[in-house]
Structure 1
């Protein structure tokens, strides 16, 4: 088996050259420099191994210590599995690329890769990710596009606290786990071309999310949660080619939003003439609607007005107020009764629910 060492990692070592008269500080500085040198020597031994595009169907026994590999590229081969024992020994791997193979699953030992930051498993036949992937707590980028994923691990969001980019487009996902809302470091979420029927409700916890693409879920996705408008860092939102008819009013709060794609939806609100005026007009429309500027339903009458209407209160409508606002219903009590009197046993029965909402008149003198 041939390994190609492309280059060695040369970490930068910073040294404080300022003079210090304190012997204790000098000793600490010397110890720090020594530690940096040891770290430098260790990292200089790490290697990048590229075995991509060799039509490999299986991996032969390696001819070097797997613990010395920081990047392993096995992409564009015909691999059907990755041995558990091999993965478990990649203790220092930071980048693992196995895209464009024939993998149906990932080894459970992938959870041993505590230093792994980038994992690319796109273009395979993977139906589910192992739950042990949650142990890869250094992971910053996960690319699982173009697979057969029907679900993600339920608790994946609780552990991958450093994940910044999650790409799961072109799969068979029906939903995204609620735990994804705990990925507070996440900046990019790409879940297009799936079968998503809904999104998690508490998306507002994704405080650093800048790009959200949930387009092309076609006939499945027809609503968006209100919390999508609370993603205050969001710059790009693509919900095109779904069955969405109404955008949440909360989208009017997204001050950083620069790109909104909604084509291919049977959109009703905002109306298309608003979209034709551009993103600023859409945000203004939604903001005004949220603040009561646009009302799709008649104004709700107060419960007091309803009581007056049905004669529960023996009041008289104000003709002047009615002329000014026909929907506003005012009332006057026929006589003044002090609170002591109303609280007396004589009047206590008047406030029972059955009497209060009865069409009969119990307040007449």
Structure 2
């Protein structure tokens, strides 16, 4: 057993010596311990503060020591995918330089709240776990995130703070249990790929703001329970790929969908414009004045017409004089039997 540990330490040393990276007079190390069937981590033979990339993937690790993570002060990339991890150490919050984190293919039910301190993080891969939620303030703290992949989990919703990730390019949340998406998605001004497919019977509606994602190129909402796409999708000028199959769509109808993306965008755009045209016109306050006969002249018909004729024109200056201002009180204006008097 002792011989195996010594041999393992020698292997680690050899791998790290082959992967030294000179950066500003200090030598940072890439340590690759992947695919070594490790149940526990060996005692490192080098200074943890010199490691910039640590690959522990494809092992049998059930935990990562808190003390180990806390000393990886120059770590930029951490890959622990395909292990048996049920949790991540809270000390992961000490990794202020961490940009890439891959924890996919484990048994994680949640991410530690301290991950919000990894403010340099650009890519988070949490695919194929048992995640039921993400940290509530993830969008307020991890402002540099460009890619979030959390597919094949048990997420029922995305935190509302997700809409604050203005640098986000890719959001992959397929194969979850999502029942809704955050309402104010329009803040994701750099989002290019959104995949919320295969949430099956859970996801039945999409927010109107999904059509305000000005940079969106790919949208996949296939295999959900969506009956109506938001009309705003007609506004997605950069959209090049739209996947909607596997939904009980009513709007747009299937014959429009079969004609391709251009037809769908055109249909939704026309529907949106038509809806605006059919909105009931708001009656102006002038109409009320006419209706109640508050303008001078008893021969003005008392109906809902918007136009009116003032028999005696007076300049605006005259109407705003102290003598006339009292005539515009609500009691006088909307009294059925009161008329302007000279």
Which TM bucket (shorter chain)?
0.7 to 0.9
- Counterpart contact for 1:350–1:362, Cα < 8 Å: no
Gaps spanning 5+ residues in structure 1: where?
12-34, 319-327
Shift of 1:75: 1.9
Alignment partner, residue 8 of structure 1: 19
Shift of 1:271: 2.3
Matches within 5 A, 1:1-365: 1=5, 2=8, 3-4=11-12, 5=15, 7-10=18-21, 36=24, 38-39=25-26, 42-43=27-28, 46-54=29-37, 56-290=38-272, 292=273, 294-295=274-275, 298-303=278-283, 312-313=292-293, 315-316=300-301, 332=308, 352=330, 356=334
Shift of 1:110: 0.6
Question: 2: distance between equivalents of 1:104 and 1:258?
Answer: 39
Partner secondary structure for residue 145 of structure 1: coil
Partner secondary structure for residue 47 of structure 1: strand
Shift of 1:165: 0.9
- Counterpart contact for 2:292–2:302, Cα < 8 Å: no
- Counterpart contact for 2:287–2:307, Cα < 8 Å: no
Shift of 1:109: 0.5
Partner secondary structure for residue 295 of structure 1: helix
Partner secondary structure for residue 109 of structure 1: helix
* CA 1:281–1:362: 2 relative to 1, 3 Å: farther
Question: 2: distance between equivalents of 1:334 and 1:127?
Answer: 73
Partner secondary structure for residue 70 of structure 1: strand
* CA 1:298–1:97: 2 relative to 1, 3 Å: same
- Counterpart contact for 2:291–2:302, Cα < 8 Å: no
Question: 2: distance between equivalents of 1:152 and 1:263?
Answer: 28
Partner secondary structure for residue 275 of structure 2: coil
Shift of 1:272: 2.2
- Counterpart contact for 2:76–2:97, Cα < 8 Å: yes
- Counterpart contact for 1:317–1:332, Cα < 8 Å: no
Deviation digits for residues 288-309 of structure 1 (CA, Å, limit 9, x no counterpart) = 333x2x239954144259968x
Q: How many residues align?
A: 323
Question: 2: distance between equivalents of 1:67 and 1:192?
Answer: 37
Higher mean alpha-carbon deviation, 118-127 vs 175-184, is at 175-184
Question: 1: distance between equivalents of 2:312 and 2:253?
Answer: 52
Shift of 1:275: 1.5
Q: TM-score, normalised by structure 1?
A: 0.75
- Counterpart contact for 2:332–2:338, Cα < 8 Å: no
Partner secondary structure for residue 197 of structure 2: coil
Shift of 1:190: 0.4
* CA 1:346–1:256: 2 relative to 1, 3 Å: closer
* CA 1:346–1:153: 2 relative to 1, 3 Å: closer
Once superposed, what is the RMSD of the aligned Cα atoms?
Answer: 3.4
Question: 2: distance between equivalents of 1:342 and 1:68?
Answer: 78
Shift of 1:176: 1.2
